[in-house]
Amino acid sequence: MHINWFKYSSPQTFYPLAGKMIPWFAWLAVVFAIAGLYIGFAIAPTDFQQGEAYRIIFLHVPAAWMSMVIYIVMAGWAALGLVLNARLSAMMAQALAPTGAIFTFIALVTGSLWGKPMWGTWWVWDARLTSELILLFLYLGFIALQSSIDDARRADRAGALLALVGVVNVPIIYFSVKWWNTLHQGSTISMGAAPKMVTTMLTGMLLMALAFWMYTIAVALMRVRCIILERERSAEWVKQLSGADL
């Protein structure tokens, strides 16, 4: 059976599809989160060097991953909206930004909570921490810039340019521990080498990463539906939808 996916590039056709997908991703987020937290905080063994304090990584590491991945995806949607003049792509970028900012904030806070017992301080101007903080400012700047421009098209273009310029910060975050002498430890998971951690720990971390992914998709779909209704409020289908809801 052939499915014409291009028809879902229209806000009108994507709106009901998003509504159907939200519960599935939301429940998957709950299931993965329960499993990940249980493995991370109840089953995973105590680290012989860091003790129980290391368990913050089950929140910190997936949040840090998501902060970078969401920005890349957001910038990709923004670029599509800029190049193809696609309304839904720009809306998706706008919908992703707040969630990316939240995960960046979580990564910074949990990193500070881990750094206090390990480094003896809440914060250091470490290359990775500083570039992660810049990422938070990029998210907030993207949100503020779009909110400050009344015309949606102009706001989308301005936000897309900022998002694309900010992409250069993502590889800086990822490779900072290799490029500079930093306090931050190197990656324990690499695509080209075996993981440097117990399998149980790795499983818990990956489950939490999946939970964060499912949460991101569910929340982004919820938010983009709100954006669609706001931007398309003058369209006849939205008026009919509002009448049906009443």
Higher pLDDT, 120 or 76: 76
Rounded to an integer, the average pLDDT of 26-33 is 97
Where do the domains of the chain lie? 27-185+195-245
pLDDT at 194: 41
CB 97 within 8 A of CB 143: yes
Residue 195 has pLDDT above 70, yes or no: no
Largest separation between any pair of C-alpha atoms in the chain: 63
Of 62-71, 105-114, 232-241, the one with minimum mean pLDDT is 232-241
Higher pLDDT, 189 or 220: 220
Rounded to an integer, the average pLDDT of 5-24 is 83
pLDDT tens-digit readout, 144-184? 999 999 898 899 999 999 999 999 999 888 876 665 555 55
What whole-number percentage of the chain has pLDDT above 70? 80
CB 160 within 8 A of CB 76: no
- Residue 190 φ/ψ, nearest 5 degrees: -135, 145
Query: CA 77 to CA 18: how far, in whole Å?
Result: 16
Query: CA 69 to CA 57: how far, in whole Å?
Result: 18
- Residue 195 φ/ψ, nearest 5 degrees: -60, 145
Query: CA 215 to CA 2: how far, in whole Å?
Result: 29
Global pTM reads 0.86
pLDDT confidence band for 193 (50 / 70 / 90): very low
The partner residues of 51 in beta bridges, in order of sequence, read: 47
Classify 51 in phi/psi space as left (phi over 0), alpha (psi -120 to 50) or beta.
left
Query: CA 153 to CA 146: how far, in whole Å?
Result: 10
**Locate tokens 């900022």: which residue?**
162
